[in-house]
Structure 1
Amino acid sequence: MSMKGREVILGILQGGSHTGYEINDILQTRLSHFFDATFGMIYPTLKKLEAEKLVTKQQISQTDRPNKNIYTITKAGQAAFSKAISEPTSDEIFKSDFLMHLYFSQDLPTEQVALFFKEEISRKEAKLATLQAQLATWLENGMTDRQQITFDYGIAYYTATLEVLKKAAKSIAS
């Protein structure tokens, strides 16, 4: 079974209570290299989880700011997450707009294809830098050995991909 947003949010809450903003931060920093989540998905998912009594919400009043909602996983939520995490894993779904463009680019000018490479290299370098920049924070906040493997996987993926892209970009340009 492929983990969806609801299971991922329950998994994040397994580690402690969080606000929606904090959940988004974890999704965008720690998980973004292997889980695609949008900010707009978080609150509707939390609302459904709350309606299903898998999480509870505590509202904290703040002066000069909007109220802050803190979400906590319930026993039922822990049971649902435990069931989901125990399911066999699914094969990765890999989608790349860059590779799709490249695959069908036989009739495009070399300059256009070179631009595709430049854009993709830039994106991958930014993602690699973001991942590397987060390591100290993750270690400081507590990272398990298994979470470290997901970090290492991301580093290896971006490093190897950049090597292939840069080599290919040189061959296209010459």
Structure 2
Amino acid sequence: MLKEKQGTKTRTERPTPTATADALLGVLSMAPMSGYTLRSVIAQSIGNFWSESYGQIYPALKRLTAEGLVEKKTERQKGRPDRNVYSLTSSGTERLKRWLEVPATTEVPRNDLLLKLFFGVHAPVSASRRNVAEFVAGQEAALERYAAIAKDLERKKKDNEAVRFWLMTLSYGRHHSTAMVAWGRETLKELDAIEKQGRKRSTTKKTSG
């Protein structure tokens, strides 16, 4: 369900059928692929900010084929099941171009970490600290992964104009993770302070009692 937020359309975190179709058209613009390859390429390329399951991909491919936006060719494989390969038609390419010119939507986030942190007063501080520490570790690992990807893409930039656009999305991830690490470390210090204050109050009560 779409709703308005600060003058822009806001989308829920689960891709809609239309959003899935547009994403698949974009990935197929890279090369013809089977449904299995599509899922793999999505995970390796746009997977850090967009995901699609097989349960979303195959119905979308069926619709795109029926609409003439994608063409399906069946490849015979000796000793293996037939392989369906999908490629963009000229109509599919035009649809992709039109979609790219439409203003981007934003998503309503569902963040389990922040939800638990918001109600953290009802649990031991150690629980919140553990959650935040694990989050920071994950973001630090992401930064290492982004650095390796950027290094590999930089070598390909001269031969593929699309790489410069890919690096823009990678840069977003690096900036985001850097900010999240800073937030996490700041939050850990605050949690440590809360825990220290709690210990002092506990000691004071025992002494006065």
The aligned residue for residue 164 of structure 1 is 183
Which structure has the larger Rg? 2
TM-score, structure 1 as length reference: 0.84
CA distance in 2, matches of 1:135, 1:73: 28
The aligned residue for residue 109 of structure 1 is 124
TM-aligned CA deviation for residue 121 of structure 1: 2.2
Gapped regions of structure 2 (runs ≥ 5): 1-8, 12-17, 194-209
The alpha-carbon distance between structure 1 residues 128 and 100, as it changes in their structure 2 partners (threshold 3 A), is same
**Are the equivalent residues in 2 in contact too, given 1:19–1:71 (CA < 8 A)?**
yes
The aligned residue for residue 104 of structure 2 is 89
CA distance in 2, matches of 1:21, 1:137: 24
The alpha-carbon distance between structure 1 residues 26 and 49, as it changes in their structure 2 partners (threshold 3 A), is same
The letter for the 2-side match of 1:36 is S
The aligned residue for residue 163 of structure 2 is 144
1:99 aligns with 2:118: no
Q: What is the aligned residue count?
A: 174
The letter for the 2-side match of 1:11 is G
1:37 aligns with 2:52: yes
What do residues 104-143 of structure 1 show as CA deviations (whole Å, max 9, x unaligned)? 2121101111121133223323433443343355454844
The aligned residue for residue 78 of structure 2 is 63
CA distance in 2, matches of 1:149, 1:132: 13
Q: CA RMSD in A?
A: 2.4
TM-score, structure 2 as length reference: 0.72
* Higher mean displacement: 18-27 or 103-112: 18-27
Aligned 1:113-132 pairs, distance under 5 A: 113-132=128-147
The alpha-carbon distance between structure 1 residues 111 and 26, as it changes in their structure 2 partners (threshold 3 A), is same
CA distance in 1, matches of 2:102, 2:133: 40
CA distance in 2, matches of 1:173, 1:58: 60
Higher normalized contact order (CA 8 Å, seq sep 6+, divided by chain length) = 1
Query: Which of the two has greater strand per residue?
Result: 2
Gapped regions of structure 1 (runs ≥ 5): none
Which of 22, 46, 64 is the equivalent residue of 2:37?
A: 22
TM-aligned CA deviation for residue 13 of structure 1: 1.2
The letter for the 1-side match of 2:37 is E
The alpha-carbon distance between structure 1 residues 156 and 17, as it changes in their structure 2 partners (threshold 3 A), is same
**Are the equivalent residues in 2 in contact too, given 1:46–1:55 (CA < 8 A)?**
yes
Query: What is the percent sequence identity of the aligned residues?
Result: 25
The alpha-carbon distance between structure 1 residues 127 and 69, as it changes in their structure 2 partners (threshold 3 A), is farther
Where 2:127 maps in the other structure, the secondary structure is helix
**Are the equivalent residues in 2 in contact too, given 1:20–1:69 (CA < 8 A)?**
yes
* Higher mean displacement: 72-81 or 21-30: 21-30
What do residues 23-46 of structure 1 show as CA deviations (whole Å, max 9, x unaligned)? 222321221232233343212211
**Are the equivalent residues in 2 in contact too, given 1:125–1:162 (CA < 8 A)?**
yes
TM-aligned CA deviation for residue 4 of structure 1: 0.9
